[in-house]
């Protein structure tokens, strides 16, 4: 029986990489993964705290995308420990199932966000939060079904073969299970490029976060798949298989945090700038108004006439167009007042008249 390496006590041999001081890659990776877990949990709490401070409903609907993306990132950092621990009967199903599902969840969130941005950069009405949630679940559910079918088939019909597969067959099956995840990456990269076409610049900034994140992720995946399938075999370093995948997990997790989720949360509560974002009620305004063919009454369409069209500085768009003049009355319509009549005896003095 070999003695445990320096730094490890009485623990199983499968866990030596977690504490081996001579092979420090395990300690370094688990430290980076633990730091990533703490930061991801902090960002999840911050996301819930900032919901009430979001001014734009279009941004508020994306909170569901950020939440599930952070859950996927948390799973990536946690899955790193399954590759630091030696491959055994318990870690093998965990690796085969969770690796593809977690990355499918993250790339589904990025793809859904890119699809929503393609509408926002063009001033169109975005998806509701329920539609965004359904898109994320639909995209990720495909990988879940693929992994479940594979594990059920191997564990029920070929359990002994599955648990005792050669390293070459293990790596080949592991990569083959990720074909759909590679398709999601390529599709997200393609869709994110279309987010740069549109009049609203601030939404393009969000598209740039997705584009850069996917670009770095593709580079990481090309490197680790090449090393796992061919590089380690050519260099005769089969012991590098687990470190290569663990490094890819930690690197991709930190890329997700630095390149995407941290900038997105920073812009989540940023004040809106006039012209960069379309007004929220602009989506409800009619784009085309039917033109009338009848003659318009100018007295009711003064809003369409400017002051300079008449050449009259005293012109008011709300004044009447009829010439007004003062009309003098021709007849006297006043009520006559009663007057006393002259008495016929006004000049009578009491004498007799002539005979």
Rounded CA-CA distance 348/355 in Å is 17
Q: What is the rounded distance in angstroms from the CA atom of residue 75 to the CA atom of residue 37?
A: 9
CA dist 297 → 125, 145, 294, 301, 312 (Å): 36, 67, 9, 7, 20
Give me the tens of pLDDT residue by residue for the chain, a chain 355 residues long: 567 777 787 788 888 888 888 888 889 999 999 999 999 999 999 998 988 888 778 888 889 999 999 999 999 999 999 999 988 888 899 999 999 999 999 999 999 999 999 988 888 888 888 999 999 999 999 999 999 999 998 888 888 778 888 888 889 999 999 999 999 999 999 999 998 887 777 788 889 999 999 999 999 999 999 999 988 888 878 888 899 999 999 999 999 999 999 999 988 877 666 555 555 444 444 444 444 444 455 444 454 444 444 445 454 554 455 555 555 555 655 666 666 666 665 555 555 555 4
Encoding tokens for residue 28? Answer: 């370094």
CB 128 within 8 A of CB 119: no
In the chain, the domains with their CATH numbers are 14-269 (1.20.1070.10)
| Residues 6+ positions from 31 with CB-CB distance below 8 Å | none
Residues contacting 78, CB < 8 A, separation 6+: 33, 37
DSSP state of 322: S
pLDDT of residue 287: 42
Contact predicate 254/246, CB 8 Å: no
Q: Kindly report the pTM of this predicted structure.
A: 0.76
> Helices 179-193 and 91-120 meet at what angle, rounded to 10?
20
In sign, the C-alpha dihedral spanning 271, 275, 278, 282 is: positive
Task: Using CA atoms of 81, 86, 87, 88 in order, give the dihedral in degrees to the nearest 10.
Answer: -110
**CB of 218 within 8 A of CB of 185?**
yes
The pLDDT value recorded for residue 324 is: 56
Q: What is the pLDDT at residue 89?
A: 86
Measured at the CA of 66, the angle between CA 130 and CA 264, to 5 degrees, comes to 125
DSSP 8-state symbol, 51: G
Q: 277 by DSSP, 3-state: which?
A: strand
Token pair listed for 22: 């001579």
Residue 238: its pLDDT value, please? Answer: 80
> CA 66, CA 129: separation in Å to the nearest integer?
12
**In whole angstroms, what is the distance from residue 51 CA to residue 141 CA?**
27
């Amino acid at each position: 029986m070999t003695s445990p390496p320096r730094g490890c006590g009485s623990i199983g041999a499968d866990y030596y990489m977690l504490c081996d001081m001579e092979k420090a890659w395990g300690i370094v990776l688990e430290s980076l993964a633990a730091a990533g877990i703490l930061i991801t949990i902090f960002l999840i709490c911050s996301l819930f705290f900032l919901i009430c401070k979001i001014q734009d409903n279009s941004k508020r609907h994306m909170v569901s995308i950020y939440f599930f993306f952070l859950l996927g990132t948390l799973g990536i950092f946690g899955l790193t420990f399954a590759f630091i621990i030696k491959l055994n009967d318990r870690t093998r199903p965990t690796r085969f199932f969770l690796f593809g599902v977690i990355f499918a969840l993250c790339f589904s969130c990025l793809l859904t966000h890119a699809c929503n941005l393609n509408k926002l950069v063009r001033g169109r009405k975005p998806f509701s939060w329920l539609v965004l949630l359904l898109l994320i679940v639909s995209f990720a559910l495909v990988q879940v079904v693929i992994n479940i079918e594979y594990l059920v088939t191997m564990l029920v019909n070929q359990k002994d073969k599955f648990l005792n597969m050669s390293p070459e067959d293990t790596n080949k099956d592991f990569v083959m299970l990720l074909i759909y995840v590679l398709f999601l990456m390529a599709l997200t990269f393609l869709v994110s490029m279309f987010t740069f076409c549109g009049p609203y610049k601030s939404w393009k900034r969000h598209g740039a976060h997705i584009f850069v994140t996917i670009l770095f992720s593709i580079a990481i995946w090309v490197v680790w798949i090449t090393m796992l399938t061919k590089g380690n075999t050519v260099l005769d370093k089969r012991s590098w298989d687990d470190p290569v995948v663990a490094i890819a997990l930690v690197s991709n997790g930190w890329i997700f945090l630095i390149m995407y989720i941290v900038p997105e949360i920073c812009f989540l509560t940023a004040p809106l700038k006039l012209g960069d974002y379309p007004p929220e009620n602009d989506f409800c305004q009619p784009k085309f108004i039917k033109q009338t063919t009848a003659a318009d009454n100018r007295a009711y369409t003064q809003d369409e006439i400017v002051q300079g069209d008449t050449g009259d500085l005293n012109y008011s768009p709300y004044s009447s167009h009829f010439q007004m003049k003062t009309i003098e009355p021709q007849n006297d319509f006043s009520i006559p007042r009663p007057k006393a009549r002259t008495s016929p005896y006004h000049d009578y003095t009491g004498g007799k008249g002539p005979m």
